[in-house]
Structure 1
């Protein structure tokens, strides 16, 4: 189902792609779910030091709306909510691979440091 873009009409494919990955933490969320598979909210948050609960919730909602992340609520007490990548999210990760490699090369070339050992360099 198509939805209205968050940032207005698109001018090209890059514009449309950036609409769904814009935000500091979305790349990390995609990576966490790719590497670790199904994750609960607290597990995602632990894997991304520095993200606030509010920002993680907002990004997960947007990514679910964009069809990148699947949210499953289990009928338990207390409720258990798990997040996983959809096929659409997996294809986005594949598309972002070359960008991550480019960024890793830039970091090496410029002598930039990696914030934590868990963040992929491409």
Structure 2
């Protein structure tokens, strides 16, 4: 979580009240997003929003990441890694360190390639990919 004051980003992740974190996650889910930037107004992020008249003002489908990677104050957060791990979780039978691997299949030729591509896509779908 980053507090923005003009162009200055201050990491305040460790100060976020659990209820505030829950409400931010709920806001993203309500609009159908699993990854989102949540803009909110609060006097003190370590207290519940309702207790202080705080509110969510915007849910962004394309959140900025630079402020989390290079805050002016506070520790940088590996948000890119967290997003990749969320989008491409490791299967139970996949060795450690292979998180985020995307299967690639090439289909070449002049006849039947569309059908072959559809079959490959269906097989990957059945395999959970």
Greater C-alpha radius of gyration: 2
Normalized against structure 1, the TM-score is what?
A: 0.21
Normalized against structure 2, the TM-score is what?
A: 0.21
| Larger relative contact order, structure 1 or 2 (CA cutoff 8 Å, min sep 6) | 1
Comparing both structures, which one devotes a greater share of its residues to helix?
Answer: 1
